[in-house]
Every structure is written in structure tokens, then in C-alpha cells.
A and B are shown apart, each in its own frame.
Chain A
Amino acid sequence: MEVFDFYRKDRWPHVFCPGCGNGTVMNCFYRAFNELGWNLDNTVFVSGIGCSSRIPLYINADALHTTHGRAVAFASGLKLARPELDIVVFTGDGDLGAIGGNHFINGCRRNIDMDVICINNNIYGMTGGQASITTPHDFQSTTTPYGNREYPFDLAEIAVAAGANYVARWTTRHVHELTKSIKIALEKKGFNLIEVVSQCPTNFGRRNKMGDASIMLEWFKENSVRREKARSAAVDHVDLNLAGQVTIGEFVNRDRECYQERIGVEKHGEKH
């Protein structure tokens, strides 16, 4: 499948700003999907609201672009109604972790089969750069003009604690690793989260002396620490700037039975 078999070419170029990490995540997803030889007609892309949540509308497949924060809930119903379809959720840090936080943790807990790609740009991109639940401490945003007084969430660690089957976090500077993790997630049953720390040069970078996408990528590179090598317990390396680093790598890879298997609506045997 060529790139523009995968995407809706008539909608190109997409709306994302120059240098926005969303497009990079799309590349890695397409690459993983294509290498697995998956079928677009059997996959539904679900999202909430935000720049990152626009991605499904660009893919040449069924897309459910929903309300802010609720993508996982929409996807849960869809999966139970049509267990034979593969569900991929594209979401953002605000969408998944703030307004959708309850659906997120309960989605992990239920372990309904879906792959959630959360593009964590540490900001509310679409609404113009307000602080999100992952904005690093002390950083600038339009709603934290004196620096962020709060501390960020660690979405990946939350997903592990809440029961997701597979959790990995990479940055847009780690395209090969990210592609590999997406492949693993696609092939795995249960609730899988891939968190991608990504750049929003327009609304995060510019306000934090990183207006250039490349500077942000360099920042990710400098501050990323492999999970095996991370300093100490989870609480110590929560997110960018809590301990001054992003922990990257696989956080968990386990095989809890997924919900639709337990309730017996699993109609498809093998996954592709």
C-alpha cells in the first residue's frame, strides 16, 4: 500500500502547522500498519477533539471523530458491537489525560481490545496553547503566564497501574522505535497505549524558547532516558522536567485476557 493509498490524498496537505509532530506519528503508524499488511477496510480509527484527534479524518478508512475526551468510550462500544474490527484511537494529552481521564483509566482497566496512540505535545495545541495535564512544571503556556505551578501526569505509568496490556512511550525523535512499538501494539490484544511525546512548535515550543521543531527534537533527544536506565522508581522520573527527563521504552507487555473474550463476544479467532 502506497502512502496515498493509506491517506485521503484529496485532503492534502493536512492542516497541521509546519514541524508539528502529528505528521511524524502518522508516518510511523502508516509504516507499522503497512509492514503488517493490515487491511484498512477492517480497521476503524476513532478520536476525540484536538489537533492530534484530526488524524483519523485523513486516513482512507472508517473514522469516528467524536467529542473531546471520549474517544475510548466510543471505541469501547464499537469494539463490543463489532469485535472483528480492529480499533485504533488517536488522541492527545488533553483529550486522553484531562477531560477523558476517567475513560482512559477505565479503558485500561477493562482491557477492551484497542490501540491508543496518544500524541503528548505537553499542551492544548488546537485551542492555542493552554497548559495541559502534561505541561512540565514551571513551563509557559497561555494559562500559566507565570510558569506552570502544577506537576504533570505520567500517562504511561498511569496506564500500567490501571491495567493496560501494553504500554510504550517514545518521542518523535525515536521514529524507528516508535514504529516498532506500534507494530507490537497492533498485533496485541487488549488495551494498548503508545504515548508519543511530540512537538507543538507553534503553541508549546514558541512560548518555551523552542519555536523551531528541530530544537524540540534535540530537546527530546537530550532528555530521553531509556526506562531500564532511568534513575529510580516511577515517581522519580515522571515526566519532562519533574526529574528533567522523559522516560522512554516499553513500560509493560503482558497478556491479561481482554474484556470481549471474557464476555464471549469475541467472534474473530486469530488476528490477521
Chain B
Amino acid sequence: MSLTPGEYFLQGNEACVEAALVSGLNFFAGYPITPSTEIAEGLARRLPEVGGAFLQMEDEIACVSAIIGASWGGVKSMTATSGPGLSLMQEAIGYAAMSETPMVIANVMRGGPSTGQPTRASQGDVMATKWGSHGDYQVIAFAPASVQEMFDLTIKAFNYAEKYRVPTFVLSDAEIGHMRGLLNVPSNIKIVNRKEKGVRRTDEAYDVPDDLVPPFPTFGKGNKAAVTGMTHGPDSRIEPEDPKIHQELVSRLNDKITKNRRDINKWDLLCPDSKHMIISYGSASFGAREVAAEDDRIGLLRLKTIWPLPEEPIREAASKAEHILVCEMNMGQLYHDIKRVALEAGCKKIELLPKIGGEPPTPGEVRHKLREMGAI
């Protein structure tokens, strides 16, 4: 049985496991990798209890392949990994985007490149998550910053994966995955189920226009679905040579996400009208949160959705702020995109506090940087 409403004290990765079960996860395929392994281990134990299946695959390519296969069977499916695994998954992620397969990938980030720092936190996979597979496509990614958010945003990830038929990521890191904290499981959790072909729904979750997210032709129901990663027309016939069909398909795959940013983007604001804004996400925001809580000159825009980038709140903050400081646990990945949006909105000074090595930037480091910028 999935968690009943109430208070729990759990590890971040455990919260992810429980959220997946609450969301209706039925199939998980995994390959062990620090610091995500607890998710696979947890689901190996928990999934059979709820009538689902767990499969340990031979590598991460197989993991994504298997969860895509399961998803076409009509069930909610998921895998979990960290950097090196994400690299292996990329081809299949592109396939999921092209075939519009709902699925969730929990990436508990560690320091890269390569094997890097298996046990230390990082946000080095932010760009790889969005751009890692070839071609033009979109994904959805959430960045939890607490055990509670690991739970809440994992549920959101499942819901949005279903709603938009798109691979969706929970991008946490070793810090969040391994921290223990209080989890409050509410009683009214909203779960979105797939809009299946042939099944009419009035569910408000499906206010996306039908032509952007076609209903899902689940296998084994007489749909005769022909699913392919090749360029295909609406009738699923492969048309690899036709420029127009390719343009229409790939544009729609992108539009269904970018045109629905308002629905997908989630964020948190502290001191919204501040002249000195910090923009951060995930565990990189820990130090900034402390600074903003103590100093009311400093505002914080904490992104919970990072893909598609929440341009609206960034624009809003940038239109009022003199300084923007982006805190990330990498050498500057989301920074460049945030800077683009902030510059367009008229903010002139957008700086970066990049932190690599495995620890989130401390409040002291954030203050130091703000002082350097002349913000405080």
C-alpha cells in the first residue's frame, strides 16, 4: 500500500520512492548507481507489495528502453540514475520524446564529468537533461530542494509526464537524495492519469488542446498503434523524407511544452520586489535561502521547474532588480539561459556563483559574492 496521509521522517530518495507509489507507479527498471541506488532498492522492495514489477536491467540504456516499453503497455513507469547513467540513457530519452512516451527519470546528480564524485552533490546534469539527446525536443524537469519537495515534485513529474506525454525528470542531487527530513503526506493528492485513445475524459488536467497532445493509443486494446522514433505523420506512418511532416511533428513536440510553460512552471519567491535577487534551484539554494530569510534586502527566486525554464518569474524579477545572482552547483549552466531572459527584461548585472566540488554554496559564500557585486 502507498503511504497514508500523515507525518513521516524519511530520506530524500525514500520520499521519491513513496511519491512514485502514490502516483501509481507500476513498473521500475533500474541499474545501481550512487547516489540514486536507494530508489531502486526501495522500489525492489515496495513495488511487488503493490502489484507492480521491478526489473534490474543490464545497463541504463536497457532501463529507459524497458520503461518506455512498459509505458506503452499503459502503466506508469520510472527509472532512477545519476550522471554516468544519464549519459547512457540519452538515445532512448530522445526516442521517448519523439514517440511521446510518458515516463519519469529520477536523476540524483553527482559530480562529473565521467565517474567524478559518486557520493557528492552537483548540478552538472542540468544541460545534459535538456540537450543530451540529439535533435530538437523538450523535456520537463523539476528540481526539489527538500525531502518534502522530493515527494511533491516526484508526484508532479508523474502527473506532467502523463499530461504532456513527455519524459519528465526529477533532478535532485546527492545532498537531497541522502538528507533525512520531515515529510507531510497530505490527504488530497491530485493524480493525473493518461488520456487514452478512445476514452473520453472531462478531467481538468486535460485542458491542453488535443492537437498538441494526442490521446495515447495503449497497446493491447485494438488500437493497432505503430510507434516509431522515425519521423511519422499523425497516422503514425513513417515519412522520413518529407520535410513538412518532419517540421510539423517536431514543432508540435516542442510547442506542447513551451506553449504550456505557465502550467508547468513552478517556483517559490522570497521578497519578490527586491533590488537584489538571487535565482537558484535545488540544493544550490540552501545558502541563498538562509541569506534571503535573514536579510530583507535580498530576494530569492527559487525555481522548482527548471525545464522548460520559468521565463515569466525570471522576467518579472529582472524587471525590478538591479542585481541578479545565480547560484548553481556547476560552472554555470542555467545561468546563461537565465541571463538571456534577465537581459531582455532590462536587468544589467547578472552574475554567477558557481560551486563545484560537492557542497552547496554556504550562506557566507553567498554574502561574500553579494558584497563583491556591491549588492550589500
Measured CB to CB, the residues of A under 8 A from B are: 8, 11, 40-42, 44, 46, 56-57, 60-67, 70, 73-82, 84-85, 102-103, 106, 260, 263-265
Contacts and interface: CB of A to CB of B under 8 A. Distances in A.
Contacts of A85: 73, 219-220
Interface of B is mostly: mixed
A102 B65 contact: no
Given A46-B69, A85-B73, A85-B220, A80 B230 contact: no
A260 B55 CA distance: 10
A19 B219 CA distance: 33
B58 A70 contact: no
B62 A73 contact: yes
Given A67-B95, A70-B92, A73-B62, A81 B224 contact: no
**B27, B66, B238 interface centre (most CB from chain A within 10 Å):** B66
B228 interface: yes
B68 A62 contact: no
Contacts of B262: none
A66 B229 contact: yes
Given A82-B219, A102-B62, A63 B74 contact: no
Given A70-B92, A74-B66, A76-B55, A81 B237 contact: no
Interface string B184-224: 00000000000000000000000000000000010111111
A67 to B, nearest CB: 5
Contacts of B59: 102
B37 to A, nearest CB: 19
Contacts of B68: 66, 74, 77
B58 A103 contact: yes
Contact of B61 (A44, A70, A79, A263): A70
A64 B69 contact: yes
Contact of A80 (B53, B61, B62, B222): B53
B232 to A, nearest CB: 9
Given A66-B95, A77-B27, A61 B73 contact: no
Given A62-B219, A80-B55, A70 B228 contact: no
B61 A42 contact: no
Contacts of A264: 48
29 contacts: A41-B222, A57-B238, A62-B219, A62-B224, A64-B72, A65-B226, A66-B229, A67-B92, A67-B95, A73-B57, A74-B65, A74-B69, A75-B69, A76-B69, A77-B27, A77-B77, A78-B72, A78-B73, A80-B66, A81-B27, A81-B53, A81-B73, A81-B74, A82-B73, A102-B59, A103-B58, A263-B53, A263-B54, A264-B48
Interface in B61-85: 61-63, 65-75, 77
Interface string B42-60: 0000001001011101110
B57 A81 contact: no
A70 B75 contact: no
A80 B53 CA distance: 7
Given A62-B225, A78-B73, A81-B53, 12 more contacts: A11-B237, A41-B221, A62-B223, A63-B227, A66-B229, A74-B69, A77-B65, A78-B219, A80-B66, A103-B58, A263-B48, A263-B53
Given A81-B74, A84-B220, A103 B69 contact: no
Given A76-B55, A77-B66, A103-B62, A65 B227 contact: yes
Nearest to B235: A10
A77 B70 contact: yes
B26 interface: yes
A67 B237 contact: no
B225 A63 contact: yes
**A61, A74, A75, A79 interface centre (most CB from chain B within 10 Å):** A74
Given A67-B91, A263-B48, A42 B58 contact: no
A248 B75 CA distance: 40
Contacts of B221: 41
A15 B74 CA distance: 31
Contacts of B257: none
